[in-house]
Amino acid sequence: MNIEQNIIGTRSGYAEFESAYVPFISFANDGQKNAIENYIFMQVDEFFKKIYPAGVIRTQLSYSKLITEEDFKDFNKVKISYFYENLFHDLERGSDGKLELKIKWSITFDERCTPIQLANLHPNYRGYEHKLSSKDGKTRKYGIIEINRIPIFYYIYFTLKEILDVAKQIPKIPTFGNCI
């Protein structure tokens, strides 16, 4: 039996990733890429509106800079400079002298980075039987990195199926040699 083992590619040199455990995901065209990114930003906006209804300053940490819990197991791999360069570099003090909350976030496909599940409680909730869901009935799992019990980074979990479902909704654009 002749098996061609070219099913999954490896990252190219231009895409430097901090972690060996973060997959490189790509799609065939900019239409898919833009639709998926718009979907992700819409979901992230909804997520943060639930957690911080009054709003919060937040920025995306580049997906290529993401590290996972597996990276933390090797203390020689994750240097303290990683945190300063990626999470703390833009911290500022407010007029009261306290650090201003500037949250970073990134998506993750690693469920182990996201042990918390966002819950929507019914307005009549009285301490029993609640449903975990969002407007579309989905739950959003997440994980955090904290300083003094204050979240400074959010891992926001997306499934590959969820991303593929968005990609499949985009009208197919014929490419050279492939008329659909």
Instruction: List the chain pLDDT tens, one digit each, 180 residues.
Output: 556 665 566 666 545 788 888 888 888 888 888 999 999 999 999 999 988 888 888 999 988 888 888 887 776 777 788 888 888 888 788 899 887 778 999 999 988 888 776 654 444 434 333 333 445 556 789 999 887 778 889 999 999 999 999 988 887 655 555 444
Look at residue 100 in the predicted model and tell me its pLDDT.
Answer: 77
Q: Are the C-beta atoms of 114 and 155 separated by less than 8 Å?
A: yes
Look at residue 6 in the predicted model and tell me its pLDDT.
Answer: 59
CA angle at 78 for the pair 114 and 157, rounded to the nearest 5°:
15
Look at residue 161 in the predicted model and tell me its pLDDT.
Answer: 93
Task: Give the Cα separation of 83 and 99 in Å (integer).
Answer: 16
CA angle at 101 for the pair 145 and 62, rounded to the nearest 5°:
55
73 domain-assigned = yes
Domain count of the fold of the chain: 1
Q: Which of 21, 18, 17, 11 is nearest to 111 (CA)?
A: 21
Three-state secondary structure call for residue 31: helix
Helix axes 30-51, 160-168, angle to 10 degrees: 130
11 domain-assigned = no
7 domain-assigned = no
Using CA atoms, how far residue 78 sits from 5, 25, 49, 63, 120, in Å, is: 32, 23, 31, 16, 35
Domain, as residue range, for 54 = 30-168
48 domain-assigned = yes
Q: What phi, psi does 96 have (nearest 5°)?
A: -85, 0
24 domain-assigned = no
